[in-house]
């Protein structure tokens, strides 16, 4: 057992602070809560790592799986939820402590014994927040030693505006002045992504294409438009220049909602063209088999696919796509997941974070700055917000999630080169600190359900990225 813990510490799966938050028996239970089986980690097979751990270092030709999540069959109790939040807090605490302005961060317990008017800094999770009658914000903050109230006054206009983008359960660095049993806040620091991230480019001129939300089986499915895409990627249509673009394609990413599914929302059966789930996936498989075999296809699920909605969603079950199982160019991964592509002897490759985007509507609605600037039509703002928080769904209730993993699977643990999503049925391109943000289009027209919710799709777009220049082109395949 001790050997296993040393192994996990060495690999960074478990951290020393995490050992302090749980008893030895709790750690032991967590490590062995699943049936252990051989598992690839950093290119080596280990029988000490259970299949709920992140699979790291698995090679798929020139694709490396950096983060991928399997099904967790452990019994879920209140302790599992507490452990998830403890792990999230510890990870983000370590990130924030690396900031120069958070060196020497103390605990909430020690703040209570500090003299009044003393400047303090600490790291805490947001329990809740409220606006007082005097138009000041009160944050109720918590760490592993206690809770404290922090006040942001309306006189600090920039800080006051920052607070309006805070939601419950995110982790912040706090600098302020202690006064009696509260802290008056001078600044708030998010974990965020590094300012100096390198804009990485491949040495060879190759390209990747990104699509999502195919929704095979829906009456609104745009078959002619997708056939047009298939013809293009097979170089059967297009100008000479367009065919030259196709020749550079080495990767195709499909970011969830492969089929329409069944029973996803009330009355959906009226909007189905294919009412059998296996037949929906058979149609999807036929499409995949039309993609040239030299293109590597990376596929993650979405909320319409036939597996649990709770995230992380494991890779699509094999029984739905039997015709694709022996295809060496096809890789099924979880939602979320991180894959590394195009690595070579001298180039470390590009990390692509795939997340279907089930939490996006929550932040489009709850964050005023996002809501007033387009909401779901401004997915770039949502993705930037989540990168600043270093979490894909920091607020409890913003998505359904599955505990039972050694680390919170929705943490953005390392800074990707690409952050790719779908779900909202619109195409957008943005950038944040040299991270390319792509929200992929759909291949269905507006359904009655979407119309009732006020969702206006922007269908039949494919995002083409030249990985050497990082130039992005949005291609429109809508067949009217």
Rounded to 5°, the CA angle 195-198-203 comes to 170
User: DSSP label at 172?
Assistant: E
Rounded to 5°, the CA angle 50-357-288 comes to 80
Residue 448 pLDDT? 75
Residue 48 pLDDT? 33
Instruction: Give residue-wise pLDDT tens across range 394-411.
Output: 999 999 988 888 889 999
User: DSSP label at 115?
Assistant: P
Residue in this structure with the two tokens 């063209």, named with its chain if needed: 273
SS3 content of the chain, % helix, strand, coil (to 5): 30, 25, 45
Provide the CA 159 distance to its chain's centre, in angstroms.
Answer: 27
Each domain of the chain, given as residue ranges in start order, spans: 100-189, 207-476
Does domain 207-476 correspond to CATH entry 3.60.21.50?
yes
Q: Where are the beta strands (DSSP E) in 16-170?
A: 39-41, 44-46, 58-60, 63-67, 119-131, 137-143, 146-152
Residue 337 pLDDT? 97
CATH classification for the domain delimited by 100-189, as one of 1.20.120.1200, 1.20.1250.20, 3.40.190.10, 2.40.50.140:
2.40.50.140
Q: In this structure, are residues 476 and 228 in contact, taking their beta carbons and an 8 Å threshold? A: no
Residue 14 pLDDT? 55
Residue 2 pLDDT? 59
Averages of pLDDT over runs of 10 residues in the chain (480 residues) are 57 52 51 35 33 44 87 77 90 93 92 93 96 94 96 93 94 95 95 94 96 96 96 91 91 96 86 94 97 96 94 94 92 96 92 97 92 88 96 95 88 97 95 97 85 82 97 92
Identical fold for domains 100-189 and 207-476, yes or no, is: no
Can you read off the two tokens belonging to residue 172?
Answer: 């912040």
Residue 355 pLDDT? 98
How many CB atoms sit inside 10 A of residue 239's CB?
A: 8
Residues 213 and 442: their CA atoms lie apart, in Å, by 5
Residues sharing a CB contact under 8 Å with residue 179, sequence separation 6 or more, in sequence order:
116, 117
Residues sharing a CB contact under 8 Å with residue 22, sequence separation 6 or more, in sequence order:
30, 83, 86
Choose among 53, 2, 56: nearest CA to 27. 2
Helix and strand element counts for the chain (H, E): 13, 20
pTM listed for this prediction: 0.86
Q: Following DSSP, what letter does each residue of 61-82 receive, concatenated?
A: TTEEEEE------SPP-HHHHH
Residue 480 pLDDT? 74
């Amino acid at each position: 057992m001790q050997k296993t813990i040393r192994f996990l510490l060495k690999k960074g799966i478990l951290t020393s602070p995490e050992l302090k938050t749980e008893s030895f028996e709790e750690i032991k239970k967590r490590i062995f809560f699943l049936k252990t089986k051989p598992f690839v980690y950093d290119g080596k097979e280990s029988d000490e790592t259970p299949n709920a751990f992140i699979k790291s270092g698995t090679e798929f030709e020139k694709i490396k799986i950096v983060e991928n999540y399997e099904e967790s069959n452990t019994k879920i109790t209140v302790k599992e939820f507490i452990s998830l939040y403890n792990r999230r807090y510890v990870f983000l605490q370590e990130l924030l402590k690396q900031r120069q302005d958070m060196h020497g961060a103390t605990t909430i317990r020690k703040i209570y014994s500090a003299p009044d008017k003393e400047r303090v800094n600490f790291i805490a999770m947001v329990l809740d927040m409220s606006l007082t009658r005097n138009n000041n914000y009160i944050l109720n903050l918590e760490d592993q030693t206690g809770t404290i109230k922090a006040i942001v006054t309306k006189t600090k206009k920039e800080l006051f505006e920052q607070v309006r983008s805070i939601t419950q359960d995110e982790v912040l660095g706090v600098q302020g002045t202690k006064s009696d049993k509260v802290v008056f806040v001078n600044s708030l620091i998010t974990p965020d992504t590094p300012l100096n991230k390198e804009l990485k480019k491949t040495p060879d001129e190759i390209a990747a294409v990104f699509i999502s939300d195919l929704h095979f089986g829906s009456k609104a499915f745009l078959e002619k438009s997708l056939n047009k895409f298939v013809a293009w990627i097979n170089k059967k249509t297009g100008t000479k220049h367009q065919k030259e673009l196709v020749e550079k394609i080495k990767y195709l990413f499909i970011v969830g909602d492969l089929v329409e599914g069944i029973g996803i929302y009330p009355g959906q059966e009226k909007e189905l063209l294919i009412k059998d789930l296996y037949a929906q996936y058979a149609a999807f498989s036929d499409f995949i088999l039309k993609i040239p075999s030299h293109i590597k296809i990376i596929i993650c699920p979405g909320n319409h696919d036939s597996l649990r909605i709770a995230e992380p969603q494991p890779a699509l079950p094999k029984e739905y796509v039997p015709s694709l199982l022996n295809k060496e160019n096809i890789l099924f991964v979880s939602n979320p997941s991180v894959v590394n592509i195009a690595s070579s002897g001298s180039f470390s490759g590009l990390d692509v974070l795939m997340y279907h985007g089930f939490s996006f509507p929550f932040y489009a609605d709850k964050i005023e700055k996002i809501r007033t600037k387009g909401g779901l039509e401004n997915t770039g703002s949502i993705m930037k917000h989540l990168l600043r928080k270093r979490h894909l769904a920091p607020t409890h209730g913003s998505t359904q999630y599955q505990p039972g993993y050694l680390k919170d699977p929705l943490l953005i643990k390392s800074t990707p080169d690409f952050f790719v999503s779908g779900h909202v049925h619109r195409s957008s391109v943005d950038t944040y600190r040299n991270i390319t943000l792509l929200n992929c289009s759909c291949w269905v027209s507006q359904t009655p359900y979407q119309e009732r919710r006020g969702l206006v799709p922007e269908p039949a777009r494919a995002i083409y990225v030249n990985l050497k220049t990082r130039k992005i082109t949005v291609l429109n395949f809508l067949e009217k």
